[in-house]
Structure 1
Amino acid sequence: MEAGRRDVDEVETRSRILGCYGKTASSLCKADELDQAKELSRRAVQLDDALSKRLKELPGAVGETLSKSDREAGVSYSMAQFDIALVDNADELAAAAIDRAEEYCGTDRALSGQVATACLSRGTSHLRAFLSKPVPAQTDLARRAIFWLQRATRMLEAGQESDITRPLLIRCLRKLARAHCAVARIDTKDFRAAEAALKEVSDIYNEQAQHEFDTRLALLHVEVLQLRSASELELLPLYEKLFRHMKWTEETVNRTLILLRPSDQAQALHPNVFSKLANAAASKPSERGSFVGRILFTFLVSCRQETDLDYFENMLNAVAAEDEIRMDQADTMALMILIWRRGDTLSRGREPQLQQASRAYGLGTHRAFFHEPATVAKSIRKVALCQLELNNPQSAMDILANCPASVANDASNHFIAFICAMRLGSKDMALQAFDALVCASNFLNQMLPMVIQEAQQAGFTRLLLRAMSETAIRARNDAEFSRSLDLTLLGRTIIKAHLPTPDQNFGLHDAEQLVLSFKSSLAIFQAGLEGRDSNSKLPEECEWVAKTAYNTAIQLADSVDSALITQLFDIASEAFEMWRLFMMGSGETEIFRMKLMAQVTALVGHCVQARRRDGESDLWEQVYARCEAVKATLHQVAQSCAQLTKEDHKRAEQVQLTVELAIWEAHVHTRNYSGVQSSLQVMTQIPVSEAAAEMLWRSPETPKDLLLRAVNKVIGLLAETSDPARYLRWIRALVSLHLEGNGPPEVEVLETFQSAVAYMIEAQRRNDQTPPRDEILWLLATAWDCGMTLWHVNMRSLAEPFLSAALNFAEGLKRQLDARSDDLGLHEQLLVQYRRMFPARGSDDEHDMLSEA
Structure 2
Amino acid sequence: MKLDNLSEAVATLTAILQDICRKEKTSSPEWHDQVQLADSITQTLQTLPQQHRNSSGSLTALENASVSLWNLSVSLKTKGVLAAQSNAKLRNIAFLIVQFCTETDNRDITLKKKIMMGLKTGRAWIDCNCPDMAEKVLIATEEYIKHLQMSILERKNKNPDNSADEEMQKLEAENELFKLLCYKAEIGLSQNRHEEALDAVLHAKEMLPKFPKEGAFLSMLCYNFGVNLFQSKQHENSIVWLRESYEIGKNKQAVGHKNQSRTLRLLANAYLEVNPEQNLQQALNAVSLANTEHVHPAGLYLRLKVLLLSIEPDEPVKKAIEDLLKLPDITVDLSLSILHLVNNHSRLEIVRWLIQGLLQKFGNSPDIGKILITNLEILVQGKQIKQAKEFMEFCITAHHTGRPLDLAIKKRFHLVLWEQGAAAFEENEFHESLDWYNYSLSLYSKSDTWDKNMAKLQRNRANCYLGLNQPQKAKEAIFEAEKIDPTSAHTQYIIYKLALLEENKEQASTAMQKMCDCARQELTVSGDEDHIFGLICLAAQKAFEDGNTSTSLIALECLCNSSPDPWQVLTALRCLVRLKLAEADEDEFKREEAFVVVENIRTAYNKLLQLQDQSTDRLPQIQKEAEWFMKIAWNLALQCDKHPEKMKDLFTLCSQLTSLCPVDDDTLVRQRTCMLMSAAACLQIARTTADEGRKRMALEESLDHVGNCKQLYGSAQTLALGPNDSKGKDTEKLLLLYEFEARTKLKDPRVENILERAFTMPNSDPKMFEALAALSMEASCSNKSLCVRVLKIAIRKNLQADQPDYSKCSQLFHSMVQLSLSSNNQDTTGQDEAWNYYMEILDILDKKAQGQYPEIEVLWLMTKAWNCGINLFSASKYIDAEKWCGLAIRMIKFLTTMKNNYQDHMNTVYGEVLAKIEGSKTRGSLEE
TM over 0.5: yes
What residue is the counterpart of 2:550 in the other structure?
A: 463
Deviations 1:111-163 (A, max 9, x none): 6434421211212433xxxxxxxxxxxxxx7655544433344445565447x
Call closer, same or farther: CA 1:5–1:620 in 2, change over 3 Å: same
Answering whether residue 270 of structure 2 is matched by residue 186 of structure 1, we say: no
What residue is the counterpart of 1:601 in the other structure?
A: 674
**Of residues 716, 729, 740 in structure 2, which corresponds to 1:664?**
740
What residue is the counterpart of 2:364 in the other structure?
A: 283
Cα deviation, residue 679, structure 1: 3.5
Cα deviation, residue 310, structure 1: 2.5
**Of residues 79, 98, 112 in structure 1, which corresponds to 2:186?**
79
Cα deviation, residue 626, structure 1: 0.9
Q: Secondary structure at the match of 1:59?
A: helix
> Quick one: distance in 2 between partners of 1:651 and 1:152?
91
Task: Select between 704-713 and 411-420 the one with higher mean Cα deviation.
Answer: 704-713
Task: Select between 741-750 and 676-685 the one with higher mean Cα deviation.
Answer: 741-750
What residue is the counterpart of 1:230 in the other structure?
A: 314
> Quick one: distance in 1 between partners of 2:257 and 2:710?
87
| Matched residue count | 655
Deviations 1:408-438 (A, max 9, x none): 6544333444445445644344334334433
Call closer, same or farther: CA 1:374–1:111 in 2, change over 3 Å: farther
Question: Do the aligned residues in 1 keep the contact of 2:148 with 2:173 (CA within 8 Å)?
Answer: no
> Quick one: distance in 2 between partners of 1:254 and 1:565?
76
Call closer, same or farther: CA 1:298–1:649 in 2, change over 3 Å: closer
> Quick one: distance in 1 between partners of 2:245 and 2:674?
85
Question: Do the aligned residues in 2 keep the contact of 1:692 with 1:710 (CA within 8 Å)?
Answer: no
Call closer, same or farther: CA 1:453–1:358 in 2, change over 3 Å: same
Call closer, same or farther: CA 1:238–1:9 in 2, change over 3 Å: closer
Deviations 1:630-674 (A, max 9, x none): 58989999xxxxxx9844999999999876543324467x69798
Cα deviation, residue 177, structure 1: 3.6
Which amino acid in structure 2 is aligned with residue 624 of structure 1? L
> Quick one: distance in 1 between partners of 2:364 and 2:570?
63
**Of residues 695, 699, 708 in structure 1, which corresponds to 2:771?**
695
CA RMSD for the aligned pairs? 6.3
> Quick one: distance in 1 between partners of 2:482 and 2:411?
17
Question: Do the aligned residues in 2 keep the contact of 1:173 with 1:200 (CA within 8 Å)?
Answer: yes
Q: Secondary structure at the match of 1:325?
A: coil
Which amino acid in structure 2 is aligned with residue 601 of structure 1? C
Answering whether residue 422 of structure 2 is matched by residue 358 of structure 1, we say: no
Call closer, same or farther: CA 1:67–1:53 in 2, change over 3 Å: closer
What residue is the counterpart of 1:737 in the other structure?
A: 809
* Correspondence list, 1:15-164, <5 A: 15-16=122-123, 19=126, 23-24=129-130, 59=149, 65-66=172-173, 70-85=177-192, 95-96=198-199, 98-99=201-202, 107-108=213-214, 109-110=216-217, 112-126=219-233, 145-156=238-249, 159-161=252-254
Cα deviation, residue 294, structure 1: 5.0
TM-score (norm 2): 0.54
Question: Do the aligned residues in 2 keep the contact of 1:421 with 1:429 (CA within 8 Å)?
Answer: yes
What residue is the counterpart of 1:173 in the other structure?
A: 264
What residue is the counterpart of 2:492 in the other structure?
A: 414
**Of residues 510, 514, 535 in structure 1, which corresponds to 2:597?**
514
What residue is the counterpart of 1:567 in the other structure?
A: 649
> Quick one: distance in 2 between partners of 1:397 and 1:730?
87
Q: Secondary structure at the match of 1:557?
A: helix
Q: Secondary structure at the match of 2:388?
A: helix
Answering whether residue 338 of structure 2 is matched by residue 260 of structure 1, we say: no
> Quick one: distance in 1 between partners of 2:649 and 2:328?
73
Q: Secondary structure at the match of 1:499?
A: helix
Answering whether residue 407 of structure 2 is matched by residue 328 of structure 1, we say: yes
Deviations 1:570-615 (A, max 9, x none): 56899999x9xxxxxxxxxx9xxx9999899366236248659965
Cα deviation, residue 336, structure 1: 3.7
Cα deviation, residue 81, structure 1: 1.0
* Correspondence list, 1:351-750, <5 A: 352=427, 354-355=429-430, 358=433, 361-362=436-437, 365-370=440-445, 373-375=451-453, 377-378=455-456, 381=459, 400=478, 403=481, 406-407=484-485, 409-422=487-500, 425-437=503-515, 438-439=517-518, 442-443=522-523, 444-446=528-530, 447-459=532-544, 462-464=549-551, 467-468=554-555, 494-500=572-578, 507=585, 508=591, 511-517=594-600, 552-558=629-635, 561-562=639-640, 563=643, 564-570=646-652, 601=674, 604-605=677-678, 607-608=680-681, 611=684, 615-616=688-689, 621-627=696-702, 629-630=704-705, 646-647=716-717, 660-666=736-742, 677=752, 679-681=754-756, 686=761, 692-693=768-769, 695-696=771-772, 709-710=789-790, 729=801, 732=804, 737=809
Q: Secondary structure at the match of 1:558?
A: helix
Question: Do the aligned residues in 2 keep the contact of 1:664 with 1:692 (CA within 8 Å)?
Answer: no
* Correspondence list, 1:293-332, <5 A: 293-294=372-373, 296=375, 299-300=378-379, 303-329=382-408, 331-332=409-410
Which amino acid in structure 1 is aligned with residue 391 of structure 2? F
> Quick one: distance in 2 between partners of 1:558 and 1:341?
51
> Quick one: distance in 1 between partners of 2:138 and 2:565?
73
Larger Rg: 2
Question: Do the aligned residues in 1 keep the contact of 2:584 with 2:593 (CA within 8 Å)?
Answer: yes
Cα deviation, residue 71, structure 1: 3.8
Task: Select between 653-662 and 143-152 the one with higher mean Cα deviation.
Answer: 653-662
Mark the runs of 5 or more structure 1 residues left unpaired by the alignment: 26-39, 127-140, 207-213, 476-481, 526-535, 580-589, 638-643, 719-725, 754-780, 787-853
Which amino acid in structure 1 is aligned with residue 511 of structure 2? A
> Quick one: distance in 2 between partners of 1:598 and 1:362?
60
Which amino acid in structure 1 is aligned with residue 364 of structure 2? S
Cα deviation, residue 234, structure 1: 3.4
Which amino acid in structure 2 is aligned with residue 5 of structure 1? K
Q: Secondary structure at the match of 1:500?
A: helix
Q: Which has the higher contact order (CA 8 A, sep 6+)?
A: 1
Question: Do the aligned residues in 1 keep the contact of 2:570 with 2:607 (CA within 8 Å)?
Answer: no
> Quick one: distance in 1 between partners of 2:776 and 2:293?
119
Which amino acid in structure 2 is aligned with residue 557 of structure 1? W
TM-score (norm 1): 0.58
Q: Secondary structure at the match of 2:529?
A: coil
Which amino acid in structure 1 is aligned with residue 400 of structure 2? A
> Quick one: distance in 2 between partners of 1:673 and 1:559?
34
Task: Select between 311-320 and 622-631 the one with higher mean Cα deviation.
Answer: 622-631
> Quick one: distance in 1 between partners of 2:717 and 2:247?
84
> Quick one: distance in 2 between partners of 1:267 and 1:302?
15
Call closer, same or farther: CA 1:346–1:177 in 2, change over 3 Å: farther
Cα deviation, residue 174, structure 1: 3.2
Cα deviation, residue 737, structure 1: 2.4
What residue is the counterpart of 1:823 in the other structure?
A: none
Which amino acid in structure 1 is aligned with residue 772 of structure 2? L
Deviations 1:6-48 (A, max 9, x none): 6635753784587479x458xxxxxxxxxxxxxx7xx998988
What residue is the counterpart of 2:891 in the other structure?
A: none
Deviations 1:29-68 (A, max 9, x none): xxxxxxxxxxx7xx99898888877776662899965466
> Quick one: distance in 2 between partners of 1:153 and 1:496?
77
Equivalent pairs: percent with the same residue? 14
Mark the runs of 5 or more structure 2 residues left unpaired by the alignment: 1-107, 154-168, 586-590, 815-834, 853-928
Question: Do the aligned residues in 2 keep the contact of 1:116 with 1:155 (CA within 8 Å)?
Answer: no
